[in-house]
Structure 1
Amino acid sequence: MRTREEELKSLGTDFTFGFIQVMDGEKDPRNLLVAFQIVHDLVLKGYALGPFVEELFEVTSCYFPIDFTPPPNDPHGIQREDLIVSLRAVLASTPQFAEFLLPLLIEKMDSELQSAKLDAVQTLSACCAIYGPKELQEFLPSLWASLRREVFQTASEKLEAECLGALTALAACLSHAVLHADTHDLLDTFLSSVLQDCRHHLCEPDMKLVWPSAKLLQAAASASLRAYHHIAGSVLPLLLEQYNQHPQSSQRRTILEMLLGFLELLQKWGHEEGDETVLLGVRAPLCSVVFSALMDPSVQLQVVGVRALTVLGALPGLLVASDLDLAVDHLTRLVLHEEDPQSSMAAMEAAGTLAPAHPGAFTDHMVRALAQELQTEREDEGTRRQRCLQALAAVSTHPSIVCETVPVLLQHLRHLQRGSEPGDTGKMALLCHSLHRVAVQSQHDPESCSFYHQAVVPCLLGLALQAALQEDALLAPGKALLEEEALTSMVPVISAASTHLSPELAVQSAALIVPLFLDGDVSFLPQNSFPCSFQPFQDGPCLAAQRRLVTLLMAFICSLPRNVPIPQQDRLLGELLALSCACDCPFAATAAAKCFAGLVNKHPEGLQLDEVLQLALNRLEPGLAEGPRRTQALGLLLWVTKALVLRYHPLSSRLTDKVLALLGDAELGPAAAEGLGLLLGDAPDVLHRGCHADVRLMYRQRFFTDNVPRLVQGFHAAHSDVKANYLKGLSHVLNHLPKPVLVTELSTLLPLLLEALSCPDRGVQLSTLRCLQPLLLEAPRALSSSWAARAGEDPARATPCTTDNRTPRLARPCRQCHQANPTRFLPGPEGSTFAVPTLHPGAPATQEGAGRAQARVALHMPPE
């Protein structure tokens, strides 16, 4: 048929009849797959069927529904689903089969066998895409009766969903009929039957069949815009009437959820094709119902009301100006005054969704009210302030609104900074979280992104400098802004404000911010009158506060695209390198190391980069060898190594060797082991794709291949005092490795993983448990097979070992391992079982109880 199509077609119906005879009685599933494909080609490629249409249908439909269970270890791999799909394609291939197939489908839908029902309904849906209204007309009453019965009576959610999908497919097929003056409208007749059988259930006092009826009506209405108008025009007024007749909140919520379903359907076609005339007729009572729900004391009803309001507001022309103002006022009230956070959060999200369509209303009402509330002192100001900040961020989804909300947030930050006391960093962190959300929402709008960056970044830098340049800055009023929590919360704000800048603005900002840190040029800051100069890279104890602000430089400079030139880059790299090695403040030293690494990662290849890296090596080697700042040197080594590993730089191997060598160091070994996790983990602030870092594909797999054998070798050669460092480092590497890669290496690595579980170092145990837990879920057979092979090779190693873990940090991953394999035992060699870490029987499920529980690992061998 592939190579001699014309010759076969020239045989006419003789070829079709001959094939029918050959196929009749076939039972081999391999042959059936081929036969179904041949029948499919006979139909679609125009072979002559002649008088043999019914015979061709009979010879294929006798296999419907497919009843096939593949034998165990079937080498051919043919599954039941393969045969079902192939046969379904044949049965639905031509309208000529309709008169024979549709009665068969109705028969199977009315049977007692669930699998037959499901197959029949799915086949009906497939047929509706091929058949026309003419083929369906005779069978519509029976098809509707069968579908309705299943939705009303079935306990299977899957079958119910398929029946609703088939109803939609039927109505969609009828919607495509071309209407003439003298033709009968099959869609109108069919939908009238649906309404007649379902509409009255919406009015029943007990509301038993309300949801099945609503689902059927919505399924029919979703078929086409014409179907929607027919159904919704009859159902919406009835539902609005029922809402007002039921006083209970639970019943009202049910009715409003049904109304919401019909409103959401109208969004399916969009405004260009959609026609809201059916809603315009009920606009006033619909708005009244939604506003009533927003005022109801029931939180569940309020939330549904907010969802309905969101859909109403998104449909053009449905809310007049007065309704829109009232809607925004309701949302503002829920945000500020509703005690339940569920309603408040729903209102915030609704505001963010509706604000782009109605920016003026939200600016005039919600933003103004939130700004006034921030200036009001109240007893419960903590909760109220937090909601205000969250709402201001949520509603900032339009450029004009961003221009209003950002100044409000910055003014509040200035207010907090002026009156801040110890412990006020939490308030600043909350505000920065809101600023960060606005930044993320503004990234893809050039106007918003430009405004946000130029307003926020100079303001944050100015406030930070104002705090840092006071005498005894760390003890002065406003010092909360210099604490780690506050500065750390500012980093994602500046980063998000800088990642999507236009090339021109990025270059302009770099030309201002880099000289600020290198030369103390504060001229571009909004408040540029300071008591002393800004010199973060200079020596001196009085400059400690200034050096902490290098983390803000890191946030900006490491978030710029790679093609943005950095002014005075060599000088900047030198200053960062010196600060990272010589600073006594770990926070500032780490920030400098990160910033240096971020610039190195994006630096173009060439002699200039080689010189920078050589300078770094010259600093690192003596710093790691001895002295009081070995920890700072290790931090720099780790971040530079990560920067080079990500981009596959040749020097990364040499630096990685230095990290691995430090695992045997008594002082730095534990930190070096943790550093292996840093090398392969995702850093939140630098060296990730979101900030345009040079991150190559599969770098983790490459690191694993190059370095894990050396880790294993180092473990066996190491002194017992430092073996735990190698185990911890290995578990960190494995935790960041894609699980399919890890599974292939289990047979080699399992002995070390088991050794790690018996290590007294709880950090090693914790990291190893986190590595094992997903393997128990995703590859239990591979894990047990590897264990069986290991125990078979070396039964002497199959000895129980127990560790008492009395901390919640260990108990939780133990519990997760237990949940991943509830039986607690994996099959081992010759009947042995491998017990995964589990809580001691009877231990409480609470965090405190888990902390007192015992996690144990044991190999239980059968008695001799």
Structure 2
Amino acid sequence: MEHNGRSRFCAWMQEPDLTVTPSLLASVLLYVSKAPQGLSSFLDLLNETWPSMERDQQHEQCLSLLSKVITPCLSTINYHTVADLFEFMNNTGTKDRLVPAWVDILVQIVSADLCNTDQCMATCQWLFHHLPPLKSNQPVRFKALTILGHIVHAKSQDISQTLPNFIDDYLSIMDGEKDPRNLLLAFDLVRLIIDKFDISRHVEELFDIVFCYFPISFSPSPNDPLAITSDDLKLSLRQCLAATPYFAYYATPVLIEKLISTSGSAKKDVMDTIRLCAAAYGAHALLPHAQDLFGALVKEVYHGSDASMSALSLDTIHQVVATLATGVSIDNIRDPVERAIAGLLQEALEHLKAPELRHAKSASSILRAAASASDPACALVVNAVVPLLYEDFNLSNPLGRQKAVLGYLIDLLEANNSLYGSVDSTEKDRDLQTPLAAYKQRLFQIFVTSLIHDQQADTELHYLYFTGIRLMVIMKRFLTADEIDLTVMQLTRQLFYPDKSIQQLLSSTLTILAKQNPQIIQEHTIPLLLDQLKSRQKPYQEILGFLQAVAVDPSLFCQISSDLWIELSSMAKQPETLMYAEAIASSLCHLLDNIVMTDKVLQLCQQTFVPSILNETIKSTLHEPDSWCMNPSLLHSLASIVARTVRSSPDVQQAQVMDRAFQVFINGDLQLMQVSTVGKVDDYLLYGTCSMDKAEQQTDRCSRDMTLLFPVMIGNCRKDIHLPVHDLHEFLGHLMEHSLVATCHARQLAMNASIAIIVNKWVDDDMETFLKKTIQQRLTPLLEASQGSFATRRSALACFIWMTKGLVVRGHPLGLAFVDDLLHLCRAATDLQMEAANGLATLLQQDELVLNRSCHANVSILYRQRLFHHCLPKLTVDHYHACLVALSHLLVNIPTQVPMADMPKLIPSLVTAFESQDEDLILSMIQVAKTIAPQALHEPEHIKTMIGRLLPLTYKHDRSLIRLNALECLAAFARVESTRTRLDPAFVRQITRSLGRALDDKKRRVRREAVICRDLWYKVPMASSF
């Protein structure tokens, strides 16, 4: 084998073209793998044959072959082999035309960390010696810079001791570099050298070679695989200039000169660079140039026409002032911040004397940027500005002047909170006293006291008042208790201000106060809101929203929820106020969702809410006098309260809840209930029937059914809580039998949910056997029967679906077996096809009351994704209508990223659904396509197929909502950049022509979306042709 490898190599050397073919490479690799010394044996072969090579091409191709051999052999190369390689390199000499091949070899060896220190040093010297003549060869320079970067990162200390001229030699390589890919590497290496080496003797040389690129500009190629942008180069260059304070002496005056003399993008680059370099250079470097620097920056703010440049100037002012503050302790510098911003401050004060003029607003922005940068600057600005604005503010002034002054004071308050932190943020916690404390009475008088006496009905003016109050409220240790008390009184009185934005501002401010001072909110705000709620003089939706906003403390929650419960108990007894009662119950659910469940809160729920809910729902079910008027919406909210209470209770109390549920709903024991009379005793039992009051219609007879509470009570207990039944299998059998004959949908749903909960939490091996047997003997005959009562068969299917849900959610294998049976029903020619298809929605949708993680259910990770991958092949084989409906439920109820990879498989089903007569199916599939298809489809034929089926829906379909959604889906395709490169311009022109028909739609919304969609597609041909 070894002889064959040598022979093959020697024969190749005699070939005229010397192409490294795959067969040659395979032969050499086999030779290397079988040789005793591995790669060293091949190096010996090269050493042996090298003197006989007469052509330079032979040398080049041999090194090229060596480079290709090294790549798969890196894992077997040791230091001895590397030594042989370097010896071979030294023995053979290095002509200029062989340098690229050797660089290819070295970059592999160095990147794999196979070189010792001496070899790394030798590599650096070799590169410095041979690289300068090859300035035009970009790939070689790129690899050489990669080699140097790797060695500097790993061997910086050795380089400092062994190669004293390393920095000078590197600068000679970098000098004149223009390729953007190489420049990024070169800039990174400069920062690495600054970080690793002593550059004190090379500062000017390093600065010159870096700064010669400033400002840098670059127009990337549209097909650049590396996607290097001009911003990448600019940022890397800035980071080089900011890498060391040594550059400050050279950079600062030049940057300021460029700031004054340049404009446009070059000026932006200068400001970005100053902003980044300021902290690195320090106050020493900036202070001598501060006046010129600030002069140029404020000029851009006052007189510039570009808002983005003005904002950048303000950011630069902020950063420079913050840097200057670090020099307050420097010897021989008296108050550097005051000296630096004196001119800036004086000019701004002059402009503030005419607050309505445009320059005054710019001056306020400048002062805000400076004040938010450092404590000394904030003190200087506040001490100069607040007295001036206080004297200028008067309620008799024109509204424009009042608004301007309030706006400038708000700027100062925001600067203060940005610098010193606030109570609603944890970013800063400084102990420094804000300079605004000395002017607190003046500020309080302007924003709070003036609000009391102000008679103007100007919304914008009042918004400024409330904004200033909010900013003072969130300042740490600013307002006293008495001032907060007065503030809360004023804010509470203004809560029902007609403007919605002001209402939101007041509500959020009171929320902050409720967290910090709940007693004051309890004293002033809550009584007023509750009085307004009971008087019904204001919209109850607004009042309930305010109560939800301030109920952030457990004590506030208890007070609010107790009063709301009393109001609910009164309003739920009257049919005309039932909608109001529903809103209160919904608010209580919201309050429970957002409050910490302390012992006090839990006690209120356990001792007041849950018992009352059980009592009142039973009374309503039994049609007792003065009972609550129930409907499904109110029942759902009450069940949510019970669920939130039970799931938060400890085990002992959950066991009591479990016993209570069985006593009431299974055994019919009402001894603990406050029920004075009994009608039909089985009305409230889980196995009972719904009675009908004389005044009720047949369709409303189940609206009072409260058996939903049974699965809610047992389903929110932990699985460690045992069911109080002797035989769980027998109990499940009873639930199933009664579910099959139940005529009330709500009661049937309660029993099916109970089955799913038990199966999910308490299933075991015996239970699995029981389920299989019961389904086979009881449910399967009903599901497969072609005759018999449709209602009974539908009930059997509903029971089967919920049982399957309990198993699927916990990830039990039996669940997927039952899913297969369900999918079989979708394809079977029975009247249960659509019921089975809709059953997939039941399997996938998460119920907020039961069978979720917060309810302590067994929820398997990613069970929806597993169900999707299990069902997809079975639903895309046939395009039956029921299968398409089931597929739509599957796609709508899973995360959008799950079906991305399978989108091409879904195209036939989507296309068939678009052509169906089922409008709901079309809508759901368009929603799926809009969300997933534009990003998931890559083949032009797939994209064309989808778009071709969507286009007729934009103008032919009778339903406007479908036309609108089809247009939105097409617009989503046009917004994806990859679509533009995959579609030919002719097809795009066909799309725009077809979209023109939608411009004459009867509906305004459709016409507007058609204009947007067509405009997006008009831009696609330009991108494609480009």
The normalised TM-score by structure 1 is: 0.85
1:659 maps to 822
- Larger mean Cα displacement after TM superposition, 755-764 or 438-447: 438-447
- Larger mean Cα displacement after TM superposition, 827-836 or 104-113: 827-836
Q: How does 1:799-838 map to 2 (within 5 A)?
A: 804-817=956-969, 819-820=971-972, 828=983, 831-833=986-988, 835=991
1:787 matches 2:943: yes
Q: Distance in 1 between matches of 2:301 and 2:938?
A: 43
- Larger mean Cα displacement after TM superposition, 67-76 or 127-136: 67-76
Contact 2:511 2:552 in 1 (8 A): yes
- Larger mean Cα displacement after TM superposition, 121-130 or 799-808: 799-808
1:394 maps to 549
- 1:782 is paired with a residue whose SS is coil
1:484 maps to 632
2:539 maps to 384
Aligned with residue 404 of structure 1, among 559, 562, 582: 559
Aligned with residue 360 of structure 1, among 516, 519, 533: 519
Q: Tell me which amino acid in the other structure corresponds to 1:407.
A: S
1:451-491 CA-partner distances (Å, limit 9, x unpaired): 445432333233222222335xxxx65452x2112112333
Q: Tell me which amino acid in the other structure corresponds to 1:132.
A: G
Q: Distance in 1 between matches of 2:269 and 2:754?
A: 60
Q: Tell me which amino acid in the other structure corresponds to 1:770.
A: Q
Q: Distance in 1 between matches of 2:898 and 2:963?
A: 27
Q: Distance in 2 between matches of 1:465 and 1:852?
A: 55
1:668 matches 2:824: no
**1:214 CA drift (Å):** 2.3
Q: Tell me which amino acid in the other structure corresponds to 1:238.
A: L
| Greater relative contact order (Cα < 8 A, sep 6+) | 1
- 2:256 is paired with a residue whose SS is helix
Q: How does 1:540-619 map to 2 (within 5 A)?
A: 540-542=689-691, 548-560=705-717, 567-568=724-725, 570=728, 577-578=736-737, 580-603=739-762, 606-608=765-767, 611=770, 615=774
1:281 matches 2:438: yes
Contact 2:914 2:925 in 1 (8 A): yes
1:470 matches 2:605: no
2:461 maps to 301
Against the structure 1 CA distance between its residues 172 and 246, is the aligned structure 2 distance closer, same or farther, given a 3 Å change threshold? farther
Against the structure 1 CA distance between its residues 339 and 547, is the aligned structure 2 distance closer, same or farther, given a 3 Å change threshold? closer
Q: Tell me which amino acid in the other structure corresponds to 1:70.
A: P
- 1:179 is paired with a residue whose SS is coil
Q: Distance in 2 between matches of 1:213 and 1:785?
A: 59
2:233 maps to 83
Aligned with residue 700 of structure 1, among 853, 859, 864: 864
1:14 maps to 165
1:537 maps to 686
Q: How does 1:412-811 map to 2 (within 5 A)?
A: 412-418=567-573, 420-421=574-575, 424-443=577-596, 445=598, 447-470=600-623, 478-480=627-629, 482-502=630-650, 505-521=653-669, 527=674, 529=676, 531=678, 535-542=684-691, 548-560=705-717, 567-568=724-725, 570=728, 577-578=736-737, 580-603=739-762, 606-608=765-767, 611=770, 615=774, 620-625=779-784, 627=789, 628-664=791-827, 665-715=829-879, 723-775=880-932, 779=935, 782=938, 784=940, 786-788=942-944, 804-811=956-963
The normalised TM-score by structure 2 is: 0.73
1:287-322 CA-partner distances (Å, limit 9, x unpaired): 233234476523333344334333323335544444
- Larger mean Cα displacement after TM superposition, 626-635 or 52-61: 626-635
Q: How does 1:99-248 map to 2 (within 5 A)?
A: 99-110=249-260, 114-179=264-329, 182-244=332-394, 247-248=397-398
Contact 2:369 2:415 in 1 (8 A): no
- 2:329 is paired with a residue whose SS is coil
Q: Distance in 2 between matches of 1:242 and 1:804?
A: 66
1:28 matches 2:179: yes
**1:409 CA drift (Å):** 0.4
Contact 1:810 1:851 in 2 (8 A): no
1:44 matches 2:195: yes
**1:498 CA drift (Å):** 4.2
- Larger mean Cα displacement after TM superposition, 367-376 or 704-713: 367-376
**1:740 CA drift (Å):** 4.3
**1:650 CA drift (Å):** 0.6
1:30-74 CA-partner distances (Å, limit 9, x unpaired): 3222211221111111x2324321111111222223322332332
**1:414 CA drift (Å):** 0.8
Q: Tell me which amino acid in the other structure corresponds to 1:840.
A: A
- Larger mean Cα displacement after TM superposition, 358-367 or 286-295: 286-295
**1:398 CA drift (Å):** 1.3
1:5-32 CA-partner distances (Å, limit 9, x unpaired): 2331025652111111111001223322
Contact 2:271 2:316 in 1 (8 A): yes
- 2:394 is paired with a residue whose SS is helix
Aligned with residue 999 of structure 2, among 812, 823, 841: 841
1:862 maps to none
Q: Distance in 2 between matches of 1:317 and 1:651?
A: 62
**1:528 CA drift (Å):** 5.5
**1:710 CA drift (Å):** 1.0
Paired residues, what number? 830
Contact 1:518 1:572 in 2 (8 A): no
Q: How does 1:56-75 map to 2 (within 5 A)?
A: 56-75=206-225
Indicate the structure (1 or 2) with the bigger Cα radius of gyration.
2
2:155 maps to 4
**1:765 CA drift (Å):** 1.1
- Larger mean Cα displacement after TM superposition, 310-319 or 613-622: 613-622
2:69 maps to none
**1:581 CA drift (Å):** 3.6
Percent of aligned pairs sharing the same letter: 26
- 1:262 is paired with a residue whose SS is helix
Q: How does 1:313-332 map to 2 (within 5 A)?
A: 313-315=473-475, 317-332=477-492
Q: Tell me which amino acid in the other structure corresponds to 1:758.
A: E
**1:164 CA drift (Å):** 2.8
- Larger mean Cα displacement after TM superposition, 133-142 or 760-769: 133-142
Against the structure 1 CA distance between its residues 304 and 61, is the aligned structure 2 distance closer, same or farther, given a 3 Å change threshold? same
Q: Distance in 1 between matches of 2:236 and 2:475?
A: 42
Contact 2:259 2:267 in 1 (8 A): yes
- 1:648 is paired with a residue whose SS is coil
Contact 1:590 1:632 in 2 (8 A): no
Q: Distance in 2 between matches of 1:246 and 1:564?
A: 71
**1:431 CA drift (Å):** 0.5
Q: Distance in 1 between matches of 2:268 and 2:1009?
A: 49
Q: Distance in 2 between matches of 1:240 and 1:591?
A: 67
Q: How well do the aligned residues superpose, as a CA RMSD in angstroms?
A: 3.9
- 2:999 is paired with a residue whose SS is coil
Unaligned runs of 5+ in 1: 716-722, 860-864
Q: Tell me which amino acid in the other structure corresponds to 1:43.
A: I
Contact 1:442 1:452 in 2 (8 A): no
